Structure 1
Amino acid sequence: MAAEGMEAREQHGTQVHPTSSPADRLAAVGNQMIEIHLWLRAELARLRADLDAPSRDLRAHCLSFCAALGRHHTGEDAGAFRILADEVPELRPVLANLIVDHEVVAGILTRVEELLGDDRPLPTAQVRAELDGLAALLESHFRYEEKRLVSALNALAGRPGTAEQLLGLTAPAD
Protein backbone atom coordinates (compact mmCIF):
# COMPACT_ATOMS: atom_id res chain seq x y z
CA MET A 1 0.00 0.00 0.00
CA ALA A 2 2.84 2.42 0.79
CA ALA A 3 4.26 1.86 -2.69
CA GLU A 4 0.87 2.64 -4.22
CA GLY A 5 0.73 5.84 -2.20
CA MET A 6 4.16 6.95 -3.37
CA GLU A 7 3.22 5.99 -6.93
CA ALA A 8 0.05 8.09 -6.75
CA ARG A 9 2.01 11.04 -5.35
CA GLU A 10 4.70 10.73 -8.04
CA GLN A 11 2.15 10.28 -10.82
CA HIS A 12 0.39 13.50 -9.88
CA GLY A 13 3.45 15.41 -8.68
CA THR A 14 2.09 15.84 -5.17
CA GLN A 15 3.89 16.78 -2.02
CA VAL A 16 3.78 14.40 0.90
CA HIS A 17 2.83 17.28 3.21
CA PRO A 18 0.81 20.10 1.63
CA THR A 19 1.84 23.61 2.59
CA SER A 20 -0.09 25.29 5.34
CA SER A 21 -1.14 28.65 3.92
CA PRO A 22 -4.81 28.84 2.88
CA ALA A 23 -3.90 30.07 -0.60
CA ASP A 24 -1.48 27.21 -1.16
CA ARG A 25 -3.93 24.61 0.13
CA LEU A 26 -6.62 25.82 -2.23
CA ALA A 27 -4.15 25.96 -5.11
CA ALA A 28 -3.47 22.24 -4.61
CA VAL A 29 -6.98 20.89 -4.07
CA GLY A 30 -6.32 17.94 -6.38
CA ASN A 31 -3.17 17.08 -4.48
CA GLN A 32 -5.10 17.26 -1.22
CA MET A 33 -7.72 14.93 -2.65
CA ILE A 34 -4.96 12.39 -3.28
CA GLU A 35 -3.73 12.81 0.30
CA ILE A 36 -7.27 12.23 1.59
CA HIS A 37 -7.56 9.11 -0.56
CA LEU A 38 -4.22 7.80 0.71
CA TRP A 39 -5.36 8.33 4.29
CA LEU A 40 -8.74 6.67 3.64
CA ARG A 41 -7.02 3.70 1.97
CA ALA A 42 -4.69 3.30 4.95
CA GLU A 43 -7.54 3.56 7.46
CA LEU A 44 -9.60 0.99 5.57
CA ALA A 45 -6.62 -1.38 5.38
CA ARG A 46 -6.05 -0.98 9.12
CA LEU A 47 -9.73 -1.55 9.81
CA ARG A 48 -9.76 -4.71 7.71
CA ALA A 49 -6.63 -5.96 9.50
CA ASP A 50 -8.24 -5.22 12.87
CA LEU A 51 -11.03 -7.67 12.01
CA ASP A 52 -8.50 -10.49 12.49
CA ALA A 53 -8.13 -9.58 16.16
CA PRO A 54 -11.19 -7.52 17.09
CA SER A 55 -10.75 -5.09 19.94
CA ARG A 56 -13.19 -3.03 21.95
CA ASP A 57 -12.29 -0.05 19.76
CA LEU A 58 -13.13 -1.79 16.48
CA ARG A 59 -16.75 -0.59 16.38
CA ALA A 60 -15.74 2.99 17.15
CA HIS A 61 -12.93 2.95 14.58
CA CYS A 62 -15.25 1.51 11.95
CA LEU A 63 -18.00 4.05 12.63
CA SER A 64 -15.46 6.87 12.61
CA PHE A 65 -14.09 5.69 9.26
CA CYS A 66 -17.59 5.41 7.79
CA ALA A 67 -18.40 8.95 8.94
CA ALA A 68 -15.17 10.36 7.48
CA LEU A 69 -15.67 8.66 4.13
CA GLY A 70 -19.28 9.85 4.02
CA ARG A 71 -18.20 13.44 4.81
CA HIS A 72 -15.58 13.30 2.06
CA HIS A 73 -18.03 12.16 -0.60
CA THR A 74 -20.80 14.52 0.53
CA GLY A 75 -18.27 17.36 0.53
CA GLU A 76 -17.09 16.54 -2.98
CA ASP A 77 -20.66 16.35 -4.30
CA ALA A 78 -21.68 19.69 -2.77
CA GLY A 79 -18.33 21.47 -3.18
CA ALA A 80 -15.69 20.54 -5.73
CA PHE A 81 -17.99 18.66 -8.11
CA ARG A 82 -20.45 21.57 -8.39
CA ILE A 83 -17.65 24.01 -9.15
CA LEU A 84 -16.07 21.66 -11.69
CA ALA A 85 -19.45 21.06 -13.38
CA ASP A 86 -19.80 24.82 -13.86
CA GLU A 87 -16.22 25.58 -14.86
CA VAL A 88 -15.32 22.43 -16.80
CA PRO A 89 -18.59 21.23 -18.37
CA GLU A 90 -16.86 18.44 -20.28
CA LEU A 91 -16.29 16.76 -16.90
CA ARG A 92 -20.02 16.49 -16.17
CA PRO A 93 -20.30 12.85 -17.33
CA VAL A 94 -17.27 11.93 -15.18
CA LEU A 95 -18.78 13.74 -12.19
CA ALA A 96 -22.11 11.98 -12.73
CA ASN A 97 -20.32 8.59 -12.67
CA LEU A 98 -18.48 9.52 -9.50
CA ILE A 99 -21.70 10.63 -7.80
CA VAL A 100 -23.26 7.25 -8.64
CA ASP A 101 -20.22 5.60 -7.02
CA HIS A 102 -20.74 7.80 -3.96
CA GLU A 103 -24.32 6.54 -3.69
CA VAL A 104 -23.17 2.90 -3.90
CA VAL A 105 -20.51 3.57 -1.25
CA ALA A 106 -23.15 5.22 0.97
CA GLY A 107 -25.23 2.03 0.74
CA ILE A 108 -22.28 -0.09 1.83
CA LEU A 109 -21.54 2.29 4.71
CA THR A 110 -25.16 2.07 5.84
CA ARG A 111 -24.97 -1.73 5.86
CA VAL A 112 -21.70 -1.67 7.83
CA GLU A 113 -23.18 0.77 10.36
CA GLU A 114 -26.24 -1.47 10.75
CA LEU A 115 -24.02 -4.50 11.35
CA LEU A 116 -22.18 -2.58 14.07
CA GLY A 117 -25.28 -0.97 15.54
CA ASP A 118 -26.18 -3.24 18.40
CA ASP A 119 -24.48 -4.92 21.33
CA ARG A 120 -24.56 -8.45 19.95
CA PRO A 121 -21.30 -10.16 19.07
CA LEU A 122 -19.62 -8.57 16.07
CA PRO A 123 -20.69 -10.33 12.84
CA THR A 124 -17.08 -10.37 11.66
CA ALA A 125 -17.65 -12.35 8.45
CA GLN A 126 -20.42 -10.01 7.32
CA VAL A 127 -18.45 -6.89 8.19
CA ARG A 128 -15.40 -8.30 6.40
CA ALA A 129 -17.44 -9.02 3.27
CA GLU A 130 -18.80 -5.46 3.23
CA LEU A 131 -15.36 -3.93 3.85
CA ASP A 132 -13.76 -6.11 1.17
CA GLY A 133 -16.37 -4.97 -1.34
CA LEU A 134 -15.90 -1.38 -0.21
CA ALA A 135 -12.12 -1.64 -0.62
CA ALA A 136 -12.44 -2.93 -4.18
CA LEU A 137 -14.94 -0.25 -5.14
CA LEU A 138 -12.96 2.55 -3.50
CA GLU A 139 -9.70 1.57 -5.17
CA SER A 140 -11.31 1.76 -8.59
CA HIS A 141 -13.22 4.93 -7.67
CA PHE A 142 -10.19 6.74 -6.23
CA ARG A 143 -7.97 5.89 -9.21
CA TYR A 144 -10.61 7.07 -11.69
CA GLU A 145 -11.27 10.24 -9.72
CA GLU A 146 -7.57 11.03 -9.39
CA LYS A 147 -6.89 10.36 -13.06
CA ARG A 148 -9.76 12.50 -14.27
CA LEU A 149 -9.97 15.35 -11.74
CA VAL A 150 -6.61 16.22 -10.17
CA SER A 151 -5.51 18.68 -12.85
CA ALA A 152 -8.90 20.38 -12.96
CA LEU A 153 -9.02 20.63 -9.16
CA ASN A 154 -5.51 22.05 -9.00
CA ALA A 155 -6.60 24.71 -11.51
CA LEU A 156 -9.12 26.06 -8.97
CA ALA A 157 -6.42 28.38 -7.58
CA GLY A 158 -7.68 31.58 -6.02
CA ARG A 159 -11.19 30.31 -5.25
CA PRO A 160 -12.76 31.39 -2.00
CA GLY A 161 -13.08 28.74 0.67
CA THR A 162 -10.86 25.92 1.79
CA ALA A 163 -9.95 22.49 0.50
CA GLU A 164 -11.97 21.05 3.40
CA GLN A 165 -15.07 22.86 2.16
CA LEU A 166 -14.51 21.49 -1.35
CA LEU A 167 -13.56 17.94 -0.31
CA GLY A 168 -15.44 17.39 2.95
CA LEU A 169 -12.34 16.83 5.09
CA THR A 170 -8.58 17.10 5.13
CA ALA A 171 -6.13 14.28 5.58
CA PRO A 172 -4.69 14.18 9.09
CA ALA A 173 -1.01 15.04 9.32
CA ASP A 174 1.27 12.02 9.52
Structure 2
Amino acid sequence: MSEGENTRLVAWNRELRSVHDRLREALTVTRQALAAGEAVEPATRDLLLFCHGFCTALTAHHEGEDRHLFPAIAEQYPQLPDTLRHLQQDHSMIAHLLAGLQAAVARAAPPAELHRHLEGVAAIMESHFRYEERKLLTVLETLALGTDPQEVLGPL
Protein backbone atom coordinates (compact mmCIF):
# COMPACT_ATOMS: atom_id res chain seq x y z
CA MET A 1 0.00 0.00 0.00
CA SER A 2 1.39 3.41 -0.94
CA GLU A 3 1.77 6.22 1.61
CA GLY A 4 -1.08 8.11 -0.11
CA GLU A 5 -3.43 5.16 0.26
CA ASN A 6 -2.46 4.76 3.91
CA THR A 7 -3.11 8.46 4.56
CA ARG A 8 -6.56 8.13 2.94
CA LEU A 9 -7.43 5.12 5.08
CA VAL A 10 -6.32 6.67 8.36
CA ALA A 11 -8.30 9.82 7.47
CA TRP A 12 -11.62 8.01 8.09
CA ASN A 13 -10.63 7.80 11.74
CA ARG A 14 -9.89 11.54 11.93
CA GLU A 15 -12.93 12.51 9.87
CA LEU A 16 -15.30 10.62 12.17
CA ARG A 17 -13.83 12.39 15.21
CA SER A 18 -14.03 15.74 13.39
CA VAL A 19 -17.71 15.28 12.54
CA HIS A 20 -18.50 14.19 16.10
CA ASP A 21 -16.72 17.29 17.45
CA ARG A 22 -18.64 19.56 15.10
CA LEU A 23 -21.94 17.98 16.12
CA ARG A 24 -21.01 18.45 19.78
CA GLU A 25 -20.31 22.13 19.02
CA ALA A 26 -23.66 22.46 17.22
CA LEU A 27 -25.42 21.03 20.27
CA THR A 28 -23.63 23.56 22.50
CA VAL A 29 -24.73 26.43 20.23
CA THR A 30 -28.31 25.11 20.28
CA ARG A 31 -28.24 24.97 24.09
CA GLN A 32 -26.90 28.53 24.17
CA ALA A 33 -29.68 29.70 21.84
CA LEU A 34 -32.25 28.14 24.19
CA ALA A 35 -30.68 29.80 27.23
CA ALA A 36 -30.55 33.19 25.46
CA GLY A 37 -34.16 32.87 24.29
CA GLU A 38 -35.60 32.06 27.71
CA ALA A 39 -35.52 35.73 28.69
CA VAL A 40 -37.50 36.71 25.59
CA GLU A 41 -39.64 33.77 24.49
CA PRO A 42 -39.18 29.99 24.55
CA ALA A 43 -38.64 29.42 20.82
CA THR A 44 -36.68 32.36 19.51
CA ARG A 45 -35.71 32.65 15.88
CA ASP A 46 -32.12 31.70 16.82
CA LEU A 47 -33.28 28.55 18.57
CA LEU A 48 -35.35 27.53 15.56
CA LEU A 49 -32.35 28.10 13.30
CA PHE A 50 -29.80 26.33 15.48
CA CYS A 51 -32.11 23.44 16.30
CA HIS A 52 -32.91 22.92 12.63
CA GLY A 53 -29.22 23.03 11.69
CA PHE A 54 -28.18 20.68 14.49
CA CYS A 55 -31.01 18.21 13.84
CA THR A 56 -30.35 18.21 10.09
CA ALA A 57 -26.59 17.70 10.53
CA LEU A 58 -26.97 14.87 13.05
CA THR A 59 -29.58 13.14 10.88
CA ALA A 60 -27.38 13.44 7.76
CA HIS A 61 -24.43 12.01 9.71
CA HIS A 62 -26.38 8.95 10.85
CA GLU A 63 -28.06 8.37 7.49
CA GLY A 64 -24.66 8.48 5.77
CA GLU A 65 -23.23 5.98 8.23
CA ASP A 66 -26.22 3.65 7.76
CA ARG A 67 -26.10 3.93 3.97
CA HIS A 68 -22.33 3.85 3.30
CA LEU A 69 -20.07 3.33 6.31
CA PHE A 70 -21.76 0.46 8.10
CA PRO A 71 -22.23 -1.70 4.98
CA ALA A 72 -18.51 -1.24 4.16
CA ILE A 73 -17.56 -2.19 7.71
CA ALA A 74 -19.89 -5.21 7.63
CA GLU A 75 -18.28 -6.40 4.41
CA GLN A 76 -14.67 -5.91 5.53
CA TYR A 77 -15.14 -6.80 9.23
CA PRO A 78 -17.82 -9.52 9.39
CA GLN A 79 -17.09 -10.07 13.09
CA LEU A 80 -18.84 -6.77 14.00
CA PRO A 81 -22.56 -7.38 13.34
CA ASP A 82 -23.57 -6.84 16.98
CA THR A 83 -21.68 -3.54 17.16
CA LEU A 84 -23.25 -2.29 13.93
CA ARG A 85 -26.72 -3.41 15.01
CA HIS A 86 -26.29 -1.54 18.32
CA LEU A 87 -25.18 1.63 16.50
CA GLN A 88 -28.12 1.44 14.09
CA GLN A 89 -30.52 1.04 17.02
CA ASP A 90 -28.97 4.17 18.54
CA HIS A 91 -29.54 6.00 15.25
CA SER A 92 -33.22 5.06 15.36
CA MET A 93 -33.57 6.18 18.98
CA ILE A 94 -31.79 9.48 18.28
CA ALA A 95 -34.03 10.11 15.25
CA HIS A 96 -37.08 9.64 17.48
CA LEU A 97 -35.65 12.06 20.08
CA LEU A 98 -34.80 14.63 17.39
CA ALA A 99 -38.36 14.47 16.05
CA GLY A 100 -39.64 15.18 19.56
CA LEU A 101 -37.26 18.11 19.94
CA GLN A 102 -38.21 19.56 16.57
CA ALA A 103 -41.92 19.25 17.37
CA ALA A 104 -41.41 20.95 20.75
CA VAL A 105 -39.49 23.82 19.16
CA ALA A 106 -42.08 24.21 16.39
CA ARG A 107 -44.92 24.57 18.89
CA ALA A 108 -42.90 26.95 21.12
CA ALA A 109 -42.85 24.59 24.09
CA PRO A 110 -41.85 26.05 27.45
CA PRO A 111 -38.10 26.30 28.13
CA ALA A 112 -38.15 23.50 30.72
CA GLU A 113 -39.61 21.09 28.16
CA LEU A 114 -37.10 22.18 25.51
CA HIS A 115 -34.28 21.62 28.01
CA ARG A 116 -35.54 18.09 28.70
CA HIS A 117 -35.60 17.32 24.97
CA LEU A 118 -32.10 18.73 24.43
CA GLU A 119 -30.69 16.91 27.44
CA GLY A 120 -32.20 13.63 26.26
CA VAL A 121 -30.69 14.05 22.81
CA ALA A 122 -27.36 15.12 24.32
CA ALA A 123 -27.14 12.13 26.64
CA ILE A 124 -27.90 9.51 23.98
CA MET A 125 -25.78 11.29 21.36
CA GLU A 126 -22.73 11.46 23.61
CA SER A 127 -23.12 7.84 24.73
CA HIS A 128 -23.49 6.80 21.09
CA PHE A 129 -20.45 8.80 19.93
CA ARG A 130 -18.25 7.38 22.69
CA TYR A 131 -19.34 3.82 21.95
CA GLU A 132 -18.86 4.33 18.20
CA GLU A 133 -15.40 5.81 18.70
CA ARG A 134 -14.41 3.04 21.11
CA LYS A 135 -15.59 0.29 18.76
CA LEU A 136 -14.82 1.71 15.30
CA LEU A 137 -11.85 4.09 15.33
CA THR A 138 -9.35 1.23 15.02
CA VAL A 139 -11.45 -0.32 12.25
CA LEU A 140 -11.55 3.00 10.42
CA GLU A 141 -7.75 3.15 10.36
CA THR A 142 -7.77 0.31 7.82
CA LEU A 143 -11.19 0.64 6.19
CA ALA A 144 -11.09 0.76 2.39
CA LEU A 145 -13.98 2.92 1.26
CA GLY A 146 -13.91 4.98 -1.91
CA THR A 147 -16.86 7.28 -1.19
CA ASP A 148 -16.89 11.04 -0.58
CA PRO A 149 -16.45 11.66 3.17
CA GLN A 150 -19.37 14.13 3.25
CA GLU A 151 -21.62 11.48 1.77
CA VAL A 152 -20.49 8.98 4.39
CA LEU A 153 -20.22 11.13 7.52
CA GLY A 154 -22.24 14.22 6.76
CA PRO A 155 -20.96 17.80 6.53
CA LEU A 156 -17.39 18.13 7.75
Shorter-normalised TM range: 0.7 to 0.9
Match of 1:149 in 2: 136
Counterparts of 1:115 and 1:35, CA distance in 2: 29
Counterparts of 1:166 and 1:154, CA distance in 2: 15
Match of 2:150 in 1: 164
* Residue-pair matches, total: 147
Is residue 40–residue 69 contact of structure 1 (8 Å, CA) maintained in 2? yes
Superposition deviation, residue 82 in structure 1: 0.6
After superposition, where does 1:1-174 map in structure 2 within 5 Å? 24=7, 27-54=10-37, 55-118=44-107, 121-157=108-144, 159-167=145-153, 169-171=154-156
Q: Spell out structure 1 runs of 4+ moving beyond 6 A.
A: none
As a proportion of its length, which structure holds more helix? 2
**What do the CA deviations read for 1:56-109 (whole angstroms, capped 9, x no partner)?**
221011011101100000100111001001110111100100000000000011
Superposition CA RMSD, Å: 2.0
Moved more, 39-48 or 62-71: 39-48
Counterparts of 1:123 and 1:24, CA distance in 2: 48
**What do the CA deviations read for 1:124-173 (whole angstroms, capped 9, x no partner)?**
2211101101111111110110011011112124x322222222x132xx
Return the letter of the residue paired with 2:74.
Answer: A
Is residue 51–residue 124 contact of structure 1 (8 Å, CA) maintained in 2? yes
Return the letter of the residue paired with 1:150.
Answer: L
Superposition deviation, residue 26 in structure 1: 5.3
TM (normalized to structure 1)? 0.77
Structure 2, gaps ≥5 residues long? 38-43
Counterparts of 1:44 and 1:154, CA distance in 2: 27
Is residue 65–residue 152 contact of structure 2 (8 Å, CA) maintained in 1? yes
Structure 1, gaps ≥5 residues long? 1-20
SS at match of 2:45: coil
Counterparts of 2:16 and 2:46, CA distance in 1: 27
Superposition deviation, residue 123 in structure 1: 2.6
Counterparts of 2:14 and 2:31, CA distance in 1: 26
